[in-house]
Structure 1
Amino acid sequence: MLRIYYKKDQRLAKENELEMLRGIPLQDLVWVDLQNPTVEEKITIETYFDIKYSSEEKSSEIESSSRFNEVEDELIINTNFISFKPNGFEYSTASIVLEKGILFTYRDDDLKTFMESVKKIRSNASIFTNGYQVLLTILETAIDQDADVIESLAKEIAELNQKLTLSRNRSDEEILLKISSFQNSNMLLRENIIDKQRLISALMKSSLFPEEYMSVLRIMIKDISSLIEHNKFAFERLEYLQDTFMGLVNIEQNRIIKIFTVATVAFMPPTLIASIYGMNFKFMPELQWEYGYIIAVLLMILSSAFTLIYFKKKSWL
């Protein structure tokens, strides 16, 4: 899918047809967005504007030279954006080229960040006159979405903590899997936030990025630092939650072991009595007792009762 945004009559117009591209003056172009494009669309854009989008392998590399690079009058950027899925989220890489004030983006997924950015641009289209402003809007939207995801994750962690401490009929396996899932989501968020921090720091150092937009980048850096602190707090809270969970599991296991231990000890005296009178020796004086069986049973009951009373008195039960 191809989207071409350009200046027309003091507003930002949009075209989706590749054939319309040659009729738009270069000085009026603002943003060329490729989403899961055809081979023809990708090759045409690269050839017409003499640019080169990063390959999938290169865009996924973590080296700083692969994430941000300056080539003559081009800024070549590869950065991650959150991609929401039915069972959670992951991050998807977008390849970005900024040349002579025109923004070129290439991505495979239908990213919510770009959708929200387009809404912001349409709501105040007259102020968007170049690709630098569009890129800043995309980055601001991405940071806002990261913040929303962190807040949502914090709420879910709080709900899990309440369920852990208040619910007696809990599923320990389910809770442990949820904690693990939250930790994985938190790690993905941290990687995504750090990637934005590296990108914005590189833009601030770049000689190709206009000085007039540096104040916006500085605000973004402060916002990212705040997100990193919240992300760190979420990690600490999950560690505390995991420790609490393991402590409760240990207490429950100790209680079960304690019950088995008490039961074992309580039945030891009756077992001893039954063992003695179950021996098959020929000469045992008690064998001839008329009430020997009743006495033996009473002894077993009384010995168990005495043991349980003693444990109760010692507060072991």
Structure 2
Amino acid sequence: MDDEMLYLMEKSGIYPIEDETALEPDKKYIGVYTYEAAGALGDKFGLHSGLLKRTLSNDSIRFESYDRLDMLCIAVVDLAVMKLDVPTMHLFIRENAFFIVCEDRKFVSRILKRISAYDKLEVSFGRLLFHLFDKLLEDDNSYLDKFEEKVMALEKKIIDDKRNKNYVNNIIGYRKKLVLLKRYYEQVSVVFKYIDLNENKLFDHQSLKLLRILSGKVDRLYNNVLSLIEYVAQIREAYQAEVDINLNTTMKLFTVITTIFFPLSLIAGWYGMNFNMPEYQSLYGYPMVIILSAGVIVASVIYFKRNHWF
């Protein structure tokens, strides 16, 4: 069927199965299903329909252990987009079967081919799980390095920008992505810790060693994200401080201008509203007023300068 694929897993490799009616109870199988076809898992392999329905309806990243059954839900995160609503992949692992329910079956098919082509050690469900996580996490270090370069470039722009451009949206956008990544790595780290308990004894020693390596990688990625969150917070504080300094400078300038011209307003209001002004009739009236005004302004500026007000 187009919405399901079945493979036989042997020590030497993984092989597609054409005839699903020829399944043998002592063999190990890998099934890859779409969410639409996942109901067949209950009929063909004895998974409880209620458990299956409840599990597939929950998209949170998690690990659940039942009697002779481990269930995982992992996110297929596209770091270039990084959004809240991401595709998920549900994994059901039993002693003789490994079922994968996902939207992109080609993604899983490529991993199975890679295991058969490059993994020269004994193939197992634990190694399949390792390769799934390894593929999901393979570009994360490179992404975080590039993300850090973007943050550093933003910091330089903020420092060099003399026009005080608004960078709030850039800073908030970076912080939002980092918070989503932080939550993602937290959840994946918890999943690895539950896998390492191996309560149902489904994974061999070698597979657990490989999965612990990936668990360490996730912890390092998580710490890198925390460092970037702190870095972005420092940039935001520095940017806000720069905005406040520029605002204070502007307010100080307006205050000085207002203070310089206040004596002229006082003289004009006091003198003009309470006394006759013979200067109207004088030929030198306007020049004298201009000289007086200029003298008051110069005297105010000199006084402010001496007192270091600007």
TM-score (norm 1): 0.81
Of residues 267, 290, 303, the one that matches 2:296 is 303
Q: 1:312 to 1:29 in 2, by over 3 A?
A: farther
Listed as ranges, the matches of 1:23-102 within 5 Å are 23=22, 25=24, 29-35=28-34, 37=35, 39=36, 41-51=37-47, 53=52, 55=54, 58-61=57-60, 67-84=62-79, 87-90=81-84, 91-102=86-97
Q: Distance in 2 between matches of 1:84 and 1:109?
A: 17
Query: Do residues 178 (structure 1) and 180 (structure 2) align?
Result: no
The alignment status of 1:144 with 2:138, answered yes or no, reads yes
Q: Using the alignment, how far apart are the partners of 1:139 and 1:197 within structure 2?
A: 11
How far off its partner does 1:32 sit?
1.9
Q: Does structure 1 retain, via aligned residues, the 8 Å contact 2:182–2:222?
A: yes
Secondary structure at the aligned position of 1:69 is classed as strand
What's the CA shift string for 1:208-243, capped at 9, x where partnerless? 232412222322232222222211111110110110
Is the Cα contact below 8 Å between 2:82 and 2:180 reproduced in 1?
no
- 2:14 corresponds to which letter in structure 1? L
SS in 2 for 1:6: strand
In 2, the alpha carbon distance for the partners of 1:254 and 1:297 equals 32
* Distance change >3 Å, CA 246–CA 215, structure 1 → 2: same
Aligned CA-pair RMSD: 3.1
Please state whether the residue corresponding to 2:73 is helix, strand or coil.
strand
Deviations 1:18-77 (A, max 9, x none): x74334556665432224x4x3x2222331122254547752357xxxx32222221112
Q: Which residue of 1 aligns with 2:8?
A: 6
Is 1:167 the equivalent of 2:166? Answer: no
1:194–1:256 distance in 2 versus 1, CA, 3 Å: same
Helix, strand or coil: the match of 1:42? coil
- Residue 236 of structure 2 corresponds to which residue in structure 1? 242
- Tell me the distance in 1 between the aligned counterparts of 2:90 and 2:260: 72
Q: 1:237 to 1:304 in 2, by over 3 A?
A: same
Contact 2:14 2:112 in 1 (8 A): no
What is the distance in 1 between the residues matched to 2:116 and 2:162? Answer: 52
Q: Name the TM-score, length of structure 2 as normaliser.
A: 0.82
Structure 1 residues 56, 97: closer, same or farther in 2, change over 3 A? closer
CA distance in structure 2 between the partners assigned to 1:116 and 1:308 by the alignment: 77
Tell me: CA distance 1:2–1:57, structure 2 relative to 1, closer, same or farther (3 Å): closer
Q: d(CA) in 2 for partners of 1:56 and 1:303?
A: 83
Judge conservation of contact 2:9–2:15 (CA < 8 Å) in 1.
Answer: yes
- Seen in structure 2, the aligned counterparts of structure 1 residues 260 and 32 have a Cα distance that, compared at 3 Å, is same
1:132 aligns with 2:126: yes
Residue 257 of structure 1: CA displacement?
Answer: 0.6
Letter in 1 for 2:8: Y
Percent of paired sites with the same residue: 18
Structure 1 12/236 Cα, relative in aligned 2: closer, same or farther at 3 Å? same
User: Partners of 2:22 and 2:163 in 1: how far apart?
Assistant: 68
Question: Cα gap change, 1:238/1:101 in structure 2, threshold over 3 Å: closer, same or farther?
Answer: farther
* Whole-angstrom CA distance in 2 between matches of 1:274 and 1:210: 93
Q: Which residues of structure 2 form unaligned runs of 5+?
A: none
Q: Where do 5+ consecutive residues of structure 1 fail to align?
A: none
2:102 to 107, 115, 119: 107
Size of the aligned set, in residue pairs, is 302
Higher relative contact order (CA 8 A, sep 6+): 2
- Contact 2:9/2:123 (8 A) holds in 1: yes
* Distance in 1 separating the partners of 2:247 and 2:212: 53
137-146 or 187-196, larger mean C-alpha shift:
137-146
2:210 paired with 1:216: yes
